[in-house]
Amino acid sequence: MTSAPTRPVLSSSPAVAATTAPDGAAAAPAVPPAMLLRELAFGAACAGAVRAAASLKLADALDEQPATAEELAVRLDVPAVPLERLLRALVCYEVFAATGDGRFRHTPLSRLLRTDEPGSLRDIALWCTEPWTWQSWSRLDDAVRTGRSVFADAFGKEFFQYLHDDAPDSAALFNRAMTQSSRQSAQDLADFLDLAGIATAADIGGGQGQALAALMERHPGLHGTLLDLPKVVEHADPRLLPGGPLADRARLVPGDCRVAIPVQADLYLVKNILEWDDESTRRTLRNLRQVARPGARVVIVENLVDDSPSMRFTTAMDLLLLLNVGGAKHTLGSLTALIEESGLLLKAVAPVNAYLHAFTCAVP
């Protein structure tokens, strides 16, 4: 479980009671429940401020030298007063820090919004706060009442259909955000997987193919197949596309894994896709079970909602999945049950990194 972050509070406020650490040292003042709940209810202000910083490329405008709001405003071509108000809000969340002499400097969090930062989260921050998310969150009570997605009611069509038909910029951002996220977990997954005896690997719903490309780079004899929706495969990682360094060992298969998985491989990766409705998961696992030859390995990788160092992050993702696609992040029990129902033999469950678990299965 995570604990509440420490943050600046008005120490002069009579309502703010100081707490004492077990060793007797003065600890951070406690925030009274009534203020804490107000802050929680204003969570949109935090998400909005992070989105504005990402969208304005505020982090790129600041280098290692602290700068005033006026200097940053000139660099961004925006008025200084509202920019300073935005910075002041962000400082409350440790995204940027105030130097005390009217200037602002980077923090580890603000650096992650830079476009040139290795491990940048800018696209992910934008994706998590896209315009359609705000409408979806406001209907969470409906989703809880019905247990179903609110997306079609709000936007007239299913989520991915809407993205591809009506919000191409958002669809492109989704692909970039997935790529950013996959790039970071791809190396962890490559470290985790033992590919002894594996000549061919297929990534089902593999996005643009970051994980597959990382595996193929790590194992020069490995042949890889990427299966994803046609519009995603079209924009696959350049390493896998014709002319790319891995192209002669790569196969790109546009398709819908709920309809068919026309791919033979020794190892099937299924990462972060079995989080939609259970029927889609059943169909995907059934298709895999039908096509995979006995002895093949299936590795399903997911964030678990009952075992994560960041329950705030995982539960937020879980609720967003409910809103958008009627999906859910799994518990250990719920994913195990669906795997067993499909006829795959679950051999092991192990952490890949701090937020992902791998369910390694054998095809009987």
- Residues binding ligand SAM (CB under 6 A): 178, 181-182, 205-207, 228-229, 232, 256-258, 271-273
Residue 256 vs 278, nearer CB to ligand SAM: 256
The answer to whether residues 217 and 157 touch, using CB atoms and an 8 Å cutoff, is no
Centroid of chain to Cα 295: 32
Residue 110 vs 287, nearer CB to ligand SAM: 287
Minimum CB separation of residue 216 from ligand SAM in Å reads 15
Minimum CB separation of residue 60 from ligand SAM in Å reads 25
Residue with the two structure tokens 């995570």: 2
φ, ψ dihedrals at 204, nearest 5°: -95, 120
Minimum CB separation of residue 175 from ligand SAM in Å reads 7
The answer to whether residues 189 and 214 touch, using CB atoms and an 8 Å cutoff, is yes
Where do the H-state alpha helices sit in 57-167?
58-61, 69-76, 80-92, 108-111, 122-128, 131-137, 140-146, 151-155, 159-166
Residue 66 vs 205, nearer CB to ligand SAM: 205
Quick one: DSSP state of residue 136? H
What is the distance between the alpha carbons of residues 263 and 204, in angstroms, rounded to a whole number? 9
Residue 104 vs 151, nearer CB to ligand SAM: 151
Minimum CB separation of residue 273 from ligand SAM in Å reads 4
What is the distance between the alpha carbons of residues 246 and 240, in angstroms, rounded to a whole number? 5
What is the distance between the alpha carbons of residues 19 and 184, in angstroms, rounded to a whole number? 39
Residue 232 vs 298, nearer CB to ligand SAM: 232
Residue 31 vs 236, nearer CB to ligand SAM: 236
What is the distance between the alpha carbons of residues 206 and 240, in angstroms, rounded to a whole number? 12
Three-class SS state of 59: helix
The answer to whether residues 122 and 115 touch, using CB atoms and an 8 Å cutoff, is yes
Residue 122 vs 271, nearer CB to ligand SAM: 271
